[in-house]
């Protein structure tokens, strides 16, 4: 049995201290204070709610959900706890439950901005409905409190499906970055030259995806080479940990968990590492990190794999690493970063140890396969697929959701094309499925990156389309 901690004389001061810790992002301290507070005030829903917020920020979504549910049991109409519960469910991969929590918020508080932004995130990144995401946040564009999130959601959704040109979208992104991805009040002192020119360079890498992801498969070979002559400092912005994370850890001289840092705190943290060069591997997956990088906290900064869909719009990068297929110099006007093109290709694919061996091409299925995030199935792409006669196999874990399948089925209705869906249980399973087909039809305007390289490695023919943005040219090297 856990012994009760003696109740402080001034309980309100204790709670005020916990709230200050939360507001300042000192989540571990807040959690410690609130764990004791719930023993003294077990019937106060707000204490459970705040504890849940701290637990979620520290990467403990199951405990956060437990706290949110306890708060709601005491105060069912406390919409903030439904919002917390939704975020915890999302972190746990319980997407339908997350969406239901956000709906509960909107029933209690119609038009609540955070819930609409959260639902839009699910619509675009989980259910594959970017146009619905735009529609959800449209009312928030005129609300100062939520306009930035709404505009960012609209811009990212436009990468998948839009009516305007690449140049127009780029200009909108550059204006957004100028207005919102800046830290005008933060001035970091210039980093002095390294006193010992013979010291090993300090190379920083930052991303939320140091795990089984494109960041691993497309960059690990590069870091294995760099680690031979440099000290690698990893700034991890994510909570996933797996065999690929272990590979990054084995190469690093220092691993920093900076998931909960604000943009200003992150910039200061990066500056304190005295880095010769920093490679951003998060991009538009992590706008907070981009904001931190706007003040150039390292001596040199480059944008590489990871959220590398289009320009960051920042002028603090010394280069954008691409190649003549992805980012030909004639398209420099679409980038705020100077283009640094690698002749052999901007990334090196390292297959996982479980990549299936190539099977006899003639014995594979002739049904065309579309293996892609459903968000990439634009209106134009689905209209193109209507020309197909017979089945088309759509492979992705997100087709487990009825609303995701329904959009494809409705788009093909009345044509001779017929959708079949396969939901792989793992990355290994997905590759086994992909390797059983002869031809993969790539999506447009947002094309396949890692998937196209995986298809090539397994001997598939890839039907390639092209555009102008970086994310619209991923599979051009396969032509």
Kindly report, residue by residue over 407-463, the tens digit of the pLDDT: 999 999 999 999 999 999 999 999 999 999 999 999 999 999 999 999 999 999 999
Mode of pairing for the β-strands spanning 277-280 and 202-207: parallel
d(CA 57, CA 451): 31
Identify the H or E element spanning 262. none
203 membership: H or E segment, kind and range: strand 202-207
Q: Please list, residue by residue across 248-262, b when 16 or more beta carbons sit within 10 angstroms of its beta carbon and e when fewer do.
A: beebbeeebebbbbe
Instruction: Please tell me the least confidently modeled range out of 32-41, 153-162, 332-341, 423-432.
Output: 32-41
**Concatenated DSSP letters for 331-363?**
GGGG-SSPEEE-TT-S------TTPPPPPPGGG
User: In Å, how far are 182, 332, 448 from 187, measured between CA atoms?
Assistant: 11, 29, 39
Give residue-wise pLDDT tens across range 269-315: 999 999 999 999 999 999 999 999 999 999 999 999 999 999 999 99
Give whole-number Cα distances, 173 to 153, 177, 250, 336, in Å: 11, 6, 36, 10
> Which residue blocks in 75-207 are alpha helix, DSSP H?
79-91, 95-108, 113-125, 130-137, 147-160, 166-180
Predicted TM-score (pTM) of the model is 0.90
> Residue 6 has what pLDDT?
64
Q: Domains of the chain by range and CATH?
A: 11-180 (1.25.40.10), 202-341 (3.40.50.11380), 361-478 (3.40.50.2000)
Under 8 Å between Cβ of 294 and 273: no
Say what percent of the chain tops pLDDT 70: 97
* pLDDT band at residue 12 under the 50/70/90 scheme: confident
Q: Choose between 369 and 5: higher pLDDT.
A: 369
Which residues are bridge partners to 339 per DSSP? 320
- What is the average per-residue pLDDT within 204-212? 97
Strand order in the sheet with 417-422: 417-422, 390-395, 369-371, 439-441, 461-463
Which H or E run contains 189? none
Nearest to 293 by CA among 322, 314, 272: 314
* Nearest CA among 291, 307, 271, 268 for reference residue 192: 271
């Amino acid at each position: 049995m856990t012994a009760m901690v003696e109740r402080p004389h001034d309980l309100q001061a204790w709670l005020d201290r916990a709230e200050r810790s939360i507001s300042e992002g000192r989540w571990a301290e807040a959690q410690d204070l609130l764990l004791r507070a719930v023993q003294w005030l077990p019937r106060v829903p707000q204490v459970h709610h705040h504890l849940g917020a701290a637990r979620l920020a520290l990467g403990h979504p199951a405990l956060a959900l437990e706290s949110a549910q306890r708060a709601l049991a005491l105060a069912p109409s406390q919409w903030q706890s439904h919002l917390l519960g939704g975020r915890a469910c999302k972190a746990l991969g319980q997407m339908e439950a997350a969406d239901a929590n956000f709906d509960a918020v909107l029933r209690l508080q119609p038009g609540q901005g955070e819930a609409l932004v959260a639902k839009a995130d699910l619509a675009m990144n989980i259910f594959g409905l970017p146009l619905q995401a735009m529609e959800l946040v449209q009312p928030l564009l005129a609300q100062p409190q939520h306009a930035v999130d709404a505009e960012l959601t609209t811009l990212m959704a436009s990468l998948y499906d839009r009516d305007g040109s690449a140049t127009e979208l780029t200009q909108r992104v550059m204006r957004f970055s100028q207005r919102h991805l800046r830290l005008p009040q933060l001035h970091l002192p210039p980093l002095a030259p390294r006193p010992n020119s013979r010291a090993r360079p300090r190379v920083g890498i930052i991303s939320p995806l140091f795990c089984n992801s494109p960041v691993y498969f497309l960059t690990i070979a590069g870091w294995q080479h760099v680690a031979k002559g440099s000290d690698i400092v990893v700034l991890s912005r994510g909570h996933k940990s797996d065999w690929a994370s272990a590979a990054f850890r084995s190469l690093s001289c220092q691993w920093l968990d900076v998931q909960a840092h604000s943009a200003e705190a992150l910039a200061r943290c990066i500056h304190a590492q005295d880095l010769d060069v920093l490679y951003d591997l998060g991009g538009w997956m992590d706008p907070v990190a981009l904001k931190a990088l706007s003040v150039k906290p390292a001596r040199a900064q480059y944008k590489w794999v990871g959220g590398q869909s289009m320009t960051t719009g920042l002028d603090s990068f010394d280069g954008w690493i691409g190649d003549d297929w992805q980012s030909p110099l004639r398209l420099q006007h679409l980038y705020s970063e100077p283009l640094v093109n690698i002749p052999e290709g901007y990334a090196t694919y390292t297959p996982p140890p479980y990549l299936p061996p190539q099977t006899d091409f003639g014995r594979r299925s002739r049904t065309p396969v579309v293996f892609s995030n459903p968000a990439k199935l634009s209106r134009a792409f689905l209209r193109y697929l209507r020309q197909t006669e017979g089945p088309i196999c759509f492979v992705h874990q997100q087709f487990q959701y009825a609303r995701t399948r329904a959009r494809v089925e409705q788009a093909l209705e009345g044509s001779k094309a017929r959708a079949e869906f396969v939901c792989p249980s793992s990355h290994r399973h997905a590759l086994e499925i992909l390797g059983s087909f002869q031809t993969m039809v790539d999506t447009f305007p947002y094309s396949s990156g890692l998937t196209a390289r995986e298809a090539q490695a397994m001997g598939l023919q890839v039907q390639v389309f092209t555009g102008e943005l970086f994310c619209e040219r991923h599979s051009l090297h396969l032509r």
